[in-house]
């Protein structure tokens, strides 16, 4: 969400539409066949444990860091600058007429992986920015006279730094490569970090040399993850289960860990919906003065069912947040009056939650310690101010593994009535492989609603594979369809729009367009050229940034959209 009036978001959003057609090709090479047991990794210093030895990075763009790392103690960090895309490469010895599997793990900004000089067809693959480690993989075949190739990674012009680790060129030994890794050791420290009526969250210690982990329930494999935590879903309520975990890499799988037992909670209504209406309106309330109408919580119109207080503030402790009421900027609004207004809204049947993030939010939950700090600090704010839950509006990326861990730990503290909302940007929900989408699906059983921001985005892909322009009924319905068909329940999907032309850099549509999109999705009427294959009568509703900008425009948005949402089937 924007703190400043009419300020466009980061530059990467401007050309998102130019990338969407390529996005569908991004993962074409992922999941290439496994190398044979006799193959070796022909890359040298593949984990960057020896700094940049054997690697050359353009314009001095590369360095090695100790965090974040995927495996071992180091990883590559390469930063694009100006006309340089931070290309880091290595010449690798290979055998002629042979097939190799090229892969690496990446994190951060846009990241590319490729190979040249194959003597046949050079290949590459890429991924948009990723808050957590993601594997890129492809394969290539060498020519009859090819004895070496150049493998490379690079980012994209003007974008954030990318990280790469554990690169491999697996195939016949070309001479001088690294030996195939040994089977990793058995994970230790397996424990239960949270439970609901239908899921159990687990965490364990990292194992050196492991590239992934396999989770077993009662002796049967149920999921595989790259990090050191996982949530097993689809469980029966009030039932005991036994869990084990094993470490994996290219050499094989370790013995299973010692088992832990967890019992799911008794069944409740889940989803944190509490006594929310079937169809709800969410509005962000600004804890700052940026030119919009300054409000107290008591000034927020009754059409809003969920009021998201924007925003919590980061602290010096990674993952931890606090809340500082802007008393001076809000014309002397005191903490005691704020708390009383929150209680009054709740007495009127409304939910008031604390939003974490925003356009300038810098809260980072990237490991187990910061996940714990996040859960503990948000819960402390819920206790102090009476907030009903939390909104995740992290527009600068999130780590799906550890944000999932944090939210489950928070849910375990707050209980099943906790409200959990999210406000991802459009590009964050283009694919279920994106970190935001994965996080939403990971916590689906405790999730209230995802109010995606249908603004500041440019053109994007709809669920039918076509590109739609921002600011139309088709844009809203075809993008909502991705979430509706991608695993979220319709009751967990809302449409997020600016309340006025000043509320965002672009993407404002009239309330009539919002209402038409709601009708199209729930009733199959008032659609544009795109019409969903079915209707979703339980669609949750709509969201706006912000109640303050709505007030500046005479509450035109809430007066039109609010009654329409509440009258949906």
C-alpha of 562 from chain center: 29
The rounded distance, in Å, linking the Cα atoms of 495 and 536 is 13
- Read off the pLDDT band of 20 (50, 70, 90): very low
Whether 461 maps to a domain, the answer reads: no
- 17-31, 256-270, 438-452: range with lowest mean pLDDT: 17-31
The pLDDT of residue 12: 29
- How many C-beta atoms lie closer than 10 Å to residue 269's C-beta? 11
Helix (H, G, I), strand (E, B) or coil at 526: coil
| Domain boundary residue, one of 143, 171, 199 | 171
The rounded distance, in Å, linking the Cα atoms of 545 and 453 is 9
Q: Tens digits of per-residue pLDDT, 91-133?
A: 999 999 999 999 999 999 999 999 999 999 999 999 987 888 9
- Read off the pLDDT band of 175 (50, 70, 90): confident
The pLDDT of residue 559: 96
Determine phi and psi for 151, rounding to 5 degrees.
Answer: -100, 150
The pLDDT of residue 233: 81
The pLDDT of residue 38: 64
CATH of the domain at 412: 3.20.20.80
The pLDDT of residue 416: 86
What does the pLDDT average to over 3-21?
A: 36
Q: Tens digits of per-residue pLDDT, 124-137?
A: 999 987 888 999 99
Asked whether residue 148 falls in the same domain as residue 28, the answer is yes
- Read off the pLDDT band of 266 (50, 70, 90): low
Q: Is the pLDDT score of 250 beyond 90?
A: no
The pLDDT of residue 360: 65
The pLDDT of residue 29: 36
Q: How far is CA 10 from CA 80, 83, 359, 360, in A?
A: 16, 19, 9, 10
Asked whether residue 205 falls in the same domain as residue 125, the answer is no
Asked whether residue 301 falls in the same domain as residue 437, the answer is yes
Contacts of 286 (CB under 8 A, 6+ apart): 3, 292, 295, 310, 546, 547, 548
CA dihedral angle for residue 57, residue 154, residue 227, residue 375, rounded to 10 degrees: 100
What does the pLDDT average to over 145-170?
A: 93
- Read off the pLDDT band of 183 (50, 70, 90): confident
**Strand segments (E) across 12-74:** 40-41, 56-57, 62-65
The pLDDT of residue 520: 97
CB of 494 closer than 8 Å to CB of 540: yes
CATH of the domain at 27: 2.60.120.260
Identify the DSSP state of 181: P
Longest Cα–Cα distance in the chain? 78
| Domain boundary residue, one of 236, 263, 290 | 263
Please tell me which residue, 313 or 199, carries the higher pLDDT value: 313
What does the pLDDT average to over 514-526?
A: 97
Whether 32 maps to a domain, the answer reads: yes
DSSP codes joined into one string, 390-430: EEEEETT---HHHHHHHHHHHHHHH-TT-EEEE--BGGGGS
The pLDDT of residue 34: 42
Determine phi and psi for 138, rounding to 5 degrees.
Answer: -155, 180
What does the pLDDT average to over 196-215?
A: 86
Output the average pLDDT for the chain. Answer: 87
CB of 13 closer than 8 Å to CB of 19: no
What does the pLDDT average to over 256-270?
A: 74
Asked whether residue 151 falls in the same domain as residue 238, the answer is no
- Read off the pLDDT band of 15 (50, 70, 90): very low
Asked whether residue 52 falls in the same domain as residue 126, the answer is yes
What does the pLDDT average to over 225-236?
A: 83
Whose CA is closest to 33, among 143, 127, 141, 165?
141
- Read off the pLDDT band of 567 (50, 70, 90): very high
Asked whether residue 44 falls in the same domain as residue 147, the answer is yes
CB of 203 closer than 8 Å to CB of 228: yes
Asked whether residue 244 falls in the same domain as residue 159, the answer is no
Whether 208 maps to a domain, the answer reads: yes
Asked whether residue 198 falls in the same domain as residue 224, the answer is yes
Helix (H, G, I), strand (E, B) or coil at 497: strand
Whether 468 maps to a domain, the answer reads: no
The pLDDT of residue 128: 85
CATH of the domain at 240: 2.60.40.10
Whether 463 maps to a domain, the answer reads: no
The rounded distance, in Å, linking the Cα atoms of 26 and 127 is 6
Q: Is the pLDDT score of 251 beyond 90?
A: no
Q: Is the pLDDT score of 4 beyond 50?
A: no
Q: Does the bond joining 311 to the residue before it have cis omega, within 30 degrees of 0?
A: yes
Asked whether residue 236 falls in the same domain as residue 342, the answer is no
Q: Tens digits of per-residue pLDDT, 305-321?
A: 999 999 999 999 999 99
Domain that holds residue 506: 280-456+487-519+541-566
Asked whether residue 50 falls in the same domain as residue 156, the answer is yes
- Read off the pLDDT band of 31 (50, 70, 90): very low
Please tell me which residue, 153 or 235, carries the higher pLDDT value: 153
Task: Assess whether 395 carries a catalytic annotation.
Answer: yes
Please tell me which residue, 191 or 491, carries the higher pLDDT value: 491
Report the domain count for the chain: 3
Asked whether residue 196 falls in the same domain as residue 318, the answer is no
Q: Tens digits of per-residue pLDDT, 382-424?
A: 999 999 999 999 877 789 999 999 999 999 998 888 999 999 9
Is residue 555 exposed (0-12), middle (13-18) or buried (19+ Cβ within 10 Å)? Answer: middle
178, 182, 359, 395: the active-site residue: 395
Asked whether residue 88 falls in the same domain as residue 210, the answer is no
Whether 21 maps to a domain, the answer reads: yes
Q: Is the pLDDT score of 158 beyond 70?
A: yes
The rounded distance, in Å, linking the Cα atoms of 517 and 478 is 10
The rounded distance, in Å, linking the Cα atoms of 163 and 301 is 46
Whether 551 maps to a domain, the answer reads: yes
- Read off the pLDDT band of 63 (50, 70, 90): very high
Whether 179 maps to a domain, the answer reads: no
| Domain boundary residue, one of 205, 234, 263 | 263
Whose CA is closest to 501, among 537, 474, 472, 471?
471
Q: Does the bond joining 59 to the residue before it have cis omega, within 30 degrees of 0?
A: no
Please tell me which residue, 69 or 550, carries the higher pLDDT value: 550
368-385 helix and 335-347 helix, angle to the nearest 10 degrees: 80
- Read off the pLDDT band of 157 (50, 70, 90): confident
Helix (H) or strand (E) holding 374: helix 368-385
The β-bridge partners of 313 are 322
Helix (H, G, I), strand (E, B) or coil at 75: strand
The pLDDT of residue 126: 92
Determine phi and psi for 200, rounding to 5 degrees.
Answer: -135, 130
The pLDDT of residue 396: 72
Q: Tens digits of per-residue pLDDT, 377-392?
A: 999 999 999 999 999 9
What does the pLDDT average to over 144-171?
A: 93
**For the chain, percent of residues with pLDDT exceeding 90:** 67
In sign, the C-alpha dihedral spanning 419, 348, 333, 301 is positive
The pLDDT of residue 361: 63
Helix (H, G, I), strand (E, B) or coil at 510: coil
Q: What number of residues does the chain have?
A: 569
The pLDDT of residue 2: 56
The rounded distance, in Å, linking the Cα atoms of 551 and 524 is 31
The rounded distance, in Å, linking the Cα atoms of 428 and 12 is 13
Helix (H) or strand (E) holding 376: helix 368-385
The rounded distance, in Å, linking the Cα atoms of 10 and 504 is 12
Q: Reading across the β-sheet that carries 229-232, which strands appear in turn?
A: 191-195, 200-203, 229-232
Contacts of 179 (CB under 8 A, 6+ apart): 40, 41
The β-bridge partners of 202 are 192, 230
- How many C-beta atoms lie closer than 10 Å to residue 567's C-beta? 10
Can you read off the two tokens belonging to residue 154?
């690079």
CB of 141 closer than 8 Å to CB of 99: yes
The pLDDT of residue 386: 93
């Amino acid at each position: 969400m924007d703190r400043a009036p009419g300020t466009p978001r980061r530059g990467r959003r401007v050309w998102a539409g130019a990338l969407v057609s390529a996005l569908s090709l991004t993962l074409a090479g992922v999941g290439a066949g496994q190398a044979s047991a006799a193959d070796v990794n022909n890359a040298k210093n593949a984990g960057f444990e020896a700094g940049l030895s054997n690697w050359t990075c353009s314009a001095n763009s590369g360095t090695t860091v100790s965090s974040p790392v995927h495996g071992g103690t180091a990883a590559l960090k390469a930063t694009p600058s100006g006309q340089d895309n931070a290309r880091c490469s290595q010449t690798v010895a290979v055998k002629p007429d042979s097939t190799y599997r090229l892969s690496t793990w990446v994190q951060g900004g846009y990241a590319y992986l490729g190979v040249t000089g194959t003597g046949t067809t050079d290949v590459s693959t890429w991924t948009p920015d990723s808050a957590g480690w993601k594997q890129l993989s492809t394969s290539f075949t060498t020519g009859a006279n090819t004895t070496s190739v150049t493998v490379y990674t690079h980012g994209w012009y003007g974008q954030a730094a990318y990280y790469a680790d554990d690169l491999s060129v697996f195939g016949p030994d070309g001479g001088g490569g690294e030996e195939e890794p040994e089977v990793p050791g058995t994970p230790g420290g397996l424990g239960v970090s949270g439970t609901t009526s239908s899921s159990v969250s687990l965490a364990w210690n990292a194992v050196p040399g492991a590239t992934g982990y396999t989770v077993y329930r009662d002796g049967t494999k149920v999921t595989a993850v790259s990090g050191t935590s996982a949530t097993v879903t689809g469980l029966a309520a009030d039932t005991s289960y036994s869990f084990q975990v094993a470490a994996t890499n290219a050499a094989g799988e370790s013995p299973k860990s010692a088992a832990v037992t967890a019992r799911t909670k008794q069944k409740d209504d889940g989803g944190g919906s509490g006594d929310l209406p079937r169809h709800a309106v969410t509005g962000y309330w600004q804890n700052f003065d940026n030119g919009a109408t300054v409000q107290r919580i008591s000034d927020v119109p009754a059409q809003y069912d969920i009021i998201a207080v924007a925003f919590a503030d980061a602290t010096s402790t990674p993952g931890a947040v606090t809340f500082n009421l802007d008393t001076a900027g809000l014309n002397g609004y005191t903490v005691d009056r704020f708390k009383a207004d929150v209680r009054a809204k709740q007495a009127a049947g409304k939910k008031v939650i604390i939003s974490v993030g925003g356009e300038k939010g810098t809260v980072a939950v990237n490991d187990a310690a910061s996940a714990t700090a996040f859960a503990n600090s948000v819960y402390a704010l819920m206790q102090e101010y009476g907030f009903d839950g939390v909104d995740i509006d992290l527009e600068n990326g999130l780590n799906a593994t550890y944000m999932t861990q944090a939210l489950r730990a928070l849910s375990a503290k707050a209980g099943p009535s906790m409200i959990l909302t999210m406000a991802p940007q459009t590009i964050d929900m283009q694919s279920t492989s994106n970190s935001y989408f994965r996080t939403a699906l990971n916590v689906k059983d405790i999730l209230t609603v995802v109010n995606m921001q249908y603004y500041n985005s440019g053109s994007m892909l709809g669920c039918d594979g076509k590109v739609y322009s921002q600011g139309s009924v088709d844009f809203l319905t075809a993008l909502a369809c991705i979430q509706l068909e991608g695993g979220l329940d319709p009751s967990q999907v809302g449409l997020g729009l600016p309340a006025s032309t000043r509320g965002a850099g672009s993407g404002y549509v009239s309330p009539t367009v919002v209402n038409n999109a709601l009708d199209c999705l729930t009733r199959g009427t008032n659609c544009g050229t795109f019409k969903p294959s079915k209707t979703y009568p339980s669609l949750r509703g709509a969201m706006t940034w912000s109640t303050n900008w709505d007030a500046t425009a005479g509450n035109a948005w809430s007066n039109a959209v609010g009654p329409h949402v509440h009258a949906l089937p």
